[in-house]
A and B are shown apart, each in its own frame.
Chain A
Amino acid sequence: AQSVTQPDIHITVSEGASLELRCNYSYGATPYLFWYVQSPGQGLQLLLKYFSGDTLVQGIKGFEAEFKRSQSSFNLRKPSVHWSDAAEYFCAVGAPRGSTLGRLYFGRGTQLTVWP
């Protein structure tokens, strides 16, 4: 069965520190992979995606993520966190083809707090 695990429910970092948010997935084949960010009371905004090709993908707001097939992981990183990055981050997987095309499976999210 498809599933996404974000092992860290809450992470606190100081402004300017580096950040890594973990994501592991279980899927029958190589899925499409996504990271979304959500501010309180808002919808989800796409940070970056992986469909194929280069396993290191760049996104908006200085974020990047690396797909590691051997570890079934798609961790999100940022070298220097800004206070405005405080939000909830969701990892998601989607089917590249077939009857469940377009359907996303989400992790439970990681709440990021940034100390000034």
Chain B
Amino acid sequence: ETGVTQTPRHLVMGMTNKKSLKCEQHLGHNAMYWYKQSAKKPLELMFVYNFKEQTENNSVPSRFSPECPNSSHLFLHLHTLQPEDSALYLCASSQGGGISFFGSGTQLSVL
């Protein structure tokens, strides 16, 4: 248990569905991140939030919409996804530039 909890663990959705991924950290960190991990590709940073403010959007398509209502919670809203969006989505948190702690991820399959 790393102190970062992601739900759901697995998600199957059609291309016309709308779903959300949730991440919660119990570590008191001020920064939260979404990463995408596809097969045979490096981990890709998607979004960075510091003190609830988005500080980085790594050219992510608008069908991915993040939300950070407070420093402990991070959401990733999904709509009209494509099959190539199927991947493991990892949430992480850190205190400034310190160690990033990762959740177990949501394995997303888009049909």
Interface residues of A (CB under 8 A from B): 32, 34, 36, 41-46, 49, 90, 94-97, 99-104, 106-109
Which residues of B sit under 8 angstroms from A46, Cβ to Cβ?
99-101
Chain B nearest CB, measured from A10 CB (Å): 12
Tell me, yes or no, whether B53 is within 8 Å of chain A by CB: no
Which residues of A sit under 8 angstroms from B102, Cβ to Cβ?
36, 43-45
Which residues of B sit under 8 angstroms from A102, Cβ to Cβ?
31, 33, 48, 50, 94, 96-98, 100
Chain B nearest CB, measured from A65 CB (Å): 14
Instruction: Contacts A101-B96, A102-B50 given; indicate if A43 touches B42 (C-beta within 8 A).
Output: no
Q: Is the Cβ of A109 less than 8 Å from the Cβ of B42?
A: yes
A41 CA / B92 CA spacing, docked (Å): 16
Q: Is the Cβ of A101 less than 8 Å from the Cβ of B97?
A: yes
Instruction: Indicate with 1 or 0, residue by residue over B54-79, a CB within 8 angstroms of chain A CB atoms.
Output: 01100000000000000000000000
15 contacts between A and B (CB under 8 A): A34-B99, A36-B102, A42-B104, A45-B102, A49-B99, A90-B43, A95-B97, A96-B97, A97-B97, A101-B96, A102-B48, A102-B94, A103-B48, A104-B43, A104-B92
Tell me, yes or no, whether B82 is within 8 Å of chain A by CB: no
Centre residue among B43, B48, B55, B96 by max chain A CB count within 10 A: B43
Q: Is the Cβ of A44 less than 8 Å from the Cβ of B90?
A: yes
Which residues of A sit under 8 angstroms from B17, Cβ to Cβ?
none
A76 CA / B34 CA spacing, docked (Å): 26
Which residues of A sit under 8 angstroms from B6, Cβ to Cβ?
43
User: Pick the contact of B2 from A45, A97, A103 — CB < 8 Å?
Assistant: A45
A86 CA / B94 CA spacing, docked (Å): 27
**Which residue of B is nearest A42, CB measured?**
B104
Chain A nearest CB, measured from B83 CB (Å): 20
Smallest CB-CB A-B distances: 4 pairs = A43-B102, A101-B97, A106-B43, A44-B102
